[in-house]
């Protein structure tokens, strides 16, 4: 296992155990995250704040790993994010979506680049249409 894989595993564990201080220490201070709902999020504290908002909305969030890869200084994870929407969720326009009580199961992909034992770039991908449909906020498409 290389450095990228180790750091990705550690940040995933920290985030899903809600240890945001530990997660923040795994990102470079000038790290950039690409998120489905907020676009670019810059800086370790802002990245962790974005993740915290998601976990406030889904306090029972869990992750089911399907595949994990490493190529050079990049780690890639594919899996399912699962949780129940019991807290307010911030939307991309700056508003709030009240808790729906609905459960979601979303296929996700994360790609993190690591330099000097810190994540410098982290891309988070999931299907926003499926997310909104599972929350009952729009009709499912086929």
Q: Residue 115: which of 24, 16, 15, 27 has the closest Cα?
A: 27
How far apart (Å, rounded) are the C-alpha atoms in residues 2 and 36?
27
Copy the structure tokens of residue 91.
């939307």
Cα torsion 39, 40, 44, 49: sign: negative
How far apart (Å, rounded) are the C-alpha atoms in residues 76 and 38?
21
Contacts of 95 (CB under 8 A, 6+ apart): none
Q: What is the CA radius of gyration of the chain?
A: 15
Full DSSP string of 67-118: EEEEETTEEEEEEEEEEE--S-EE-TTS-EEPP---EEEEEEEEEEEEETTE
Copy the structure tokens of residue 28.
């470079």
Model confidence at 142, in pLDDT bands (50, 70, 90)?
A: low
Domains along the sequence of the chain with CATH: 3-134 (3.10.450.50)
- pLDDT given for residue 138 in this prediction: 84
How large is the average pLDDT for residues 56-72? 97
Q: Is the confidence at residue 33, as pLDDT, over 70?
A: yes
Supply the pTM of this predicted model.
0.92
Mean pLDDT, the chain, whole residue set? 95
Query: What are φ and ψ of residue 105, in 5° steps?
Result: -140, 105
Copy the structure tokens of residue 18.
């809600």
Model confidence at 25, in pLDDT bands (50, 70, 90)?
A: very high
- pLDDT given for residue 91 in this prediction: 82
């Amino acid at each position: 296992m290389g450095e990228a894989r180790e750091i990705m595993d550690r940040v995933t564990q920290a985030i899903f155990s809600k240890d945001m201080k530990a997660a923040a220490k795994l990102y470079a201070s000038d790290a950039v995250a690409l998120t489905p709902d907020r676009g670019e999020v810059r800086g370790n504290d802002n990245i962790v704040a974005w993740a915290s908002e998601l976990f406030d909305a889904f306090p029972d969030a869990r992750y089911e790993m399907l595949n994990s890869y490493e190529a050079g200084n990049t780690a890639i994870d594919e899996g399912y994010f699962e949780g129940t929407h019991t807290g307010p969720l911030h939307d991309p326009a700056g508003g709030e979506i009240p808790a729906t009580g609905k459960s979601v199961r979303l296929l996700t992909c994360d790609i993190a680049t690591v330099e000097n034992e810190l994540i410098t770039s982290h891309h988070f991908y999931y299907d926003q249409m499926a997310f909104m449909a599972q929350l009952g906020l729009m009709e499912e498409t086929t």
